[in-house]
Structure 1
Amino acid sequence: MPSETDPLINTTSLKAESATGGKNDPHTAWHLKTYTAGEDASRLAAAAKEMGLNRIRAARAQVRRRQLLTTLERAVFEETKEHNVWETVAGVAGNILEWYDFAVFGYFGDIIGEVFFPPNQSGHAATMESFAVFGGAFLARPLGGLLLGYLGDVYGRKKALTVSIFLMAFPTFAMGCLPSYEQVGYTSTILLIIIRLLQGMSVGGQLMSSLIFTLESVPHEQWGLYGSFVWATGNLGVLLGSIVGYAIRSSFNHEELVKYGWRIPFLSGIVVSIAGFYLRSSEDNDEKNDGRKEKDNKQGDCPQKQNPIHAMLATENLRPLVASAMVPMLWSSGFYLSFVWMAVYMTDLVDNPVPHALAVNSMALLGSVVLFFPIAGWLSDKYGRRTIMSIGGASIALLAPFLIEAIGKGDPWLSFWSQMFLGICLSFWGSPMGAWLVESFEPEARLTSVATGYNTAHAIVGGSTPAVATFLVDAVGPTSPGWIYVIISLIAMAGLWVVAPPPPSASSSVAVVMPMPATKELDPEQQPEREPLV
């Protein structure tokens, strides 16, 4: 039986090895015995499956980049197609449910403030404290991004994705079981903070693992579109949290919400673990570097892989790393202001509360950063990342203060269209940003670098923005949070155009991690022609 490092032999190379002998190589002899000319596709598929799914994935990487030249490759492709569809479904479901878990805290921020903090505080102090805990989770995101990024770069993107899903599901369920401040005092507050830190670590690695896991398996010219799908599924999870929040708030009165109603969405968060169990069951199929690959590297079969943390901190990587922390600031603060904090703003913080605020928030979120996201991603594939992102950044800087003022007038339709337009502007910035981040780094330390930079942005501005906006409403006025967009837009645009290195020329290629099995070296006349893998 062949080992994991056996060469993958196609029909053409088999003939070549037969002509040159190959009798001294036991692996070649096995393949010659298994893949005799004229065998039907079903037997080839069965033999390919015996070779191990890592080998099958490597063959599929070839199939994606050139025509199906051999019966073996065609059989391998068909054998793994259905399996990968279900992996994709599990990954998407995990992405949706994980972001549902994380965002639902924000939609019940005011209720959580009453449950876990001292009562009878002046103004909106309890709500501000609740959003401070919400922001505290973002402080753990860079650590989660670093740890899970290292895990993904060394042991595989899927392993990092699986760990992040479990790290979100169980703490979320536990949060629904926490005692209140009335029952145990500040112990409840401390437990709440610990759970939010665990959730922050999970989100720190989850989205970037999902993004890179997806983009590294599709053609580079479609990275903007496919990256937008990953981002949109996360936004769909936030939308799901908004819908659930609206349903629960509509079903219970305030006293019931404080007593037990707020716990329901957190207890249901355990559903996310289903996707994690499925991915865990197929984890051995990860095409990235696993323990066996690392062992082979140490034995000299291929060059030793560089430590991704060292690669991330290399001098030539510093400009992209700093830019990757500046550019996402606009998406981070803008999204949480526009679609998490905004629901509480329209309900509790404005002088004229917006009727059915969570329903307005949900529809605006669906129409903009879910449905419009693929359009913005496709446009970035066609016209370039910087061009599309600059349209979004400039629009937010110019229009956000006026849109926030319009939302604060209390009219539901005016609030909906203002929030919708704000979301479309954010889509022009956020949708291409995923592909832009991945393109900024080499594959060897890609996940570690992207996750660290992206989550640093969230730690600096994303988590603190709702609390700062709530403070500004009390200290300055209900329309003052609009200027947060302006300041953050200028910082992010500077990161995109000044700090980030110039994008590669059209003729240069972007490296993609696609490990290929070694092939037996043949005479030049016998070597089959293959398109270069770029």
Structure 2
Amino acid sequence: MDATTQLSSQDKRTFVLSSLGGALEFYDFVIYVFYAKIISDLFFPSTLSPFWAMLNTYGIFAAGYFFRPLGGVVMAHFGDLVGRKRLFSLSILLMSLPTLIIGLLPTFASIGYAAPLLLLLMRIIQGIAIGGEIPAAWTFVSEHAPEKRVGFANGLLTAGLSLGILLGAVMSLCISIQFNEQQIHSWAWRIAFIAGGIFGLFALYLRSYLHETPVFKAMQQRKELAKALPIQQVLQKHKPAVAIGMLFTWFLTGCVVVIILAMPNLLMNGFGYERALTFKMQSAAILMQMLGCILTGMLADRLGCAKVMLWGSATLAIVAAVFYNSLNSASHSSIFMLYMLLGLCSGCVGIVPSALVKMFPAVIRFSGISFSYNVAYAIIGGLTLPLLQVLGQYSKIGAMYYIFLLAIIACITAVVFKLKFEPAPQK
């Protein structure tokens, strides 16, 4: 094994700490969803109808998505100018503290309308943080990894984000087992937020042992840091990369939302699956998606991002067709296995960060990745669930057709990416 493929102990520590921090930060962002009903009861007036209370609660959650692009662009700007490590640490601080504060916030009964306003402020700060965290993490590990292990490093990191969703589900399950409904509604829901905040601060401490990336330090020494606004250079000189990055992000976001987040609702409400079985299936699919992210990342190091995306997205479409068309006829155990296989195939999203890293030069890499990823995520993350709702009016398996669309987009984008950014080596 040559020097370009060897991982030092410092590389391994960097990847593990980055992945752990990303998992905890994603946990902090999504745990709100698991307790949305309780939050709607406690942070809005009792005179408000349950429908409007939930709508306001989801509106506050959506605020985090809307502020992702702002946070990503601003934090990436300084990350390209003052260093990756500082912004990498700042993002987890801006996520952990609001999570901890949400766990301690007084309710509407104590402070009136100040309660939902403070909750909104915390979600805005979290949105800014998550907008900076993921592009920062992808940039950070890519610039630490040997050239021929960038795919593996980013696959591991993307798997860590899925782990954050799983941790949220497991924490909610543990609290529901340990406490009764009255206790959870009264105070035990706060445990999930307080624990997330404390774990996040611990991850911040661990990140203090990370070092600035060799790529940034080399640019600093050579005085090659961006002179103009990094985002201005991105939009002026790298429009094709931005467009490709946004399309790849559409694929990534759609797969996570449709295959992981929205699946329990489809299985329970559309096909009558029991809640406990549904969440066991979801947890298994998340674990398989994590494995898929790592495997496809490793394959991308050997075969290139484009080829892995082409085969991965095509396989995903085929497995999705079998899975969704079996929901009315196959046994629960067969559906369980098919869902795990679907989760594994959806792990091809793990190569998206490696593709983004290849498209932007180091001097504006953080800003390029951040703008492409966060703008696309804010748009698609907000539109996917309503679109699934519309498709569901025409067919119970309408989500399958959305996955077909995602796979077609991914294949076409992979071909364009291959031609422009991953040409075959000249003989």
TM-score (ref. length: structure 1): 0.69
Matched, 1:502 2:424: no
1:439-458 to 2 correspondence within 5 Å? 439-458=358-377
Q: Find the aligned partners of 1:66 and 1:345 in 2 and give their Cα distance.
A: 43
Aligned to 2:153: 226
Q: Name the CA shift for 1:113/1:165 in 2 (closer, same or farther; >3 Å).
A: same
1:195-251 deviation per Cα after TM superposition (whole angstroms, max 9, x unaligned): 222111111111221122112222322222221111112222221112112222233
Matched, 1:376 2:296: yes
Matched, 1:485 2:407: no
Greater mean deviation of Cα atoms: 125-134 or 240-249: 125-134
1:57-96 to 2 correspondence within 5 Å? 87-96=14-23
Matched, 1:336 2:254: no
Matched, 1:148 2:78: no
Aligned to 1:216: 143
Q: Is the contact between residue 107 and residue 341 of structure 1 (CA under 8 Å) also seen in structure 2?
A: no
Q: Name the CA shift for 1:409/1:454 in 2 (closer, same or farther; >3 Å).
A: farther
Q: Is the contact between residue 469 and residue 481 of structure 1 (CA under 8 Å) also seen in structure 2?
A: yes
Structure 1 residue 501 displacement after superposition: 5.8
Q: Name the CA shift for 1:87/1:326 in 2 (closer, same or farther; >3 Å).
A: closer
Letter in 1 for 2:314: A
Q: Is the contact between residue 243 and residue 358 of structure 1 (CA under 8 Å) also seen in structure 2?
A: no
Q: Is the contact between residue 43 and residue 115 of structure 2 (CA under 8 Å) also seen in structure 1?
A: yes
Structure 1 residue 276 displacement after superposition: 1.4
1:160-208 deviation per Cα after TM superposition (whole angstroms, max 9, x unaligned): 1101010100011111223445555654333333222211111111122
Matched, 1:306 2:234: no
Structure 1 residue 447 displacement after superposition: 0.9
**Secondary structure at 1:136 match in 2:** helix
Structure 1 residue 453 displacement after superposition: 0.3
Q: Name the CA shift for 1:447/1:136 in 2 (closer, same or farther; >3 Å).
A: same
> C-alpha root-mean-square deviation of aligned residues, in Å?
3.6
Aligned to 1:198: 125
Q: Name the CA shift for 1:376/1:281 in 2 (closer, same or farther; >3 Å).
A: closer
**Secondary structure at 2:421 match in 1:** coil
1:326-405 to 2 correspondence within 5 Å? 326-346=247-267, 349-350=269-270, 352-356=272-276, 357-366=278-287, 368-397=288-317, 400=320, 403-404=323-324
Aligned to 2:196: 269
Letter in 1 for 2:350: S
Letter in 2 for 1:434: P
* Identity value in percent: 24
Matched, 1:435 2:363: no
Q: Is the contact between residue 325 and residue 457 of structure 1 (CA under 8 Å) also seen in structure 2?
A: yes
Q: Is the contact between residue 138 and residue 459 of structure 1 (CA under 8 Å) also seen in structure 2?
A: yes
**Secondary structure at 1:505 match in 2:** coil
Aligned to 1:416: 336
Q: Name the CA shift for 1:494/1:86 in 2 (closer, same or farther; >3 Å).
A: closer
Q: Name the CA shift for 1:164/1:302 in 2 (closer, same or farther; >3 Å).
A: closer
Q: Is the contact between residue 320 and residue 501 of structure 1 (CA under 8 Å) also seen in structure 2?
A: no
Q: Find the aligned partners of 1:127 and 1:477 in 2 and give their Cα distance.
A: 26
Letter in 2 for 1:362: S
1:399-456 deviation per Cα after TM superposition (whole angstroms, max 9, x unaligned): 546635656899753553343232222112x111111110111111111101110111
Letter in 2 for 1:422: L
Q: Find the aligned partners of 1:123 and 1:304 in 2 and give their Cα distance.
A: 52
5+ long unaligned stretches in structure 1: 1-62, 68-76, 509-534
Q: Find the aligned partners of 1:257 and 1:407 in 2 and give their Cα distance.
A: 34
Q: Is the contact between residue 140 and residue 213 of structure 2 (CA under 8 Å) also seen in structure 1?
A: no
Greater mean deviation of Cα atoms: 475-484 or 387-396: 475-484
Decide which structure has greater helix share. Answer: 2
TM-score (ref. length: structure 2): 0.84
Aligned residues: 422
Q: Name the CA shift for 1:120/1:391 in 2 (closer, same or farther; >3 Å).
A: farther
Q: Name the CA shift for 1:472/1:134 in 2 (closer, same or farther; >3 Å).
A: farther
Letter in 2 for 1:92: S
Structure having the higher Rg: 1
Greater mean deviation of Cα atoms: 408-417 or 335-344: 408-417
Aligned to 2:246: 325
1:110-164 deviation per Cα after TM superposition (whole angstroms, max 9, x unaligned): 4444444566988977656544443331211111111221222112111111010
**Secondary structure at 1:176 match in 2:** helix
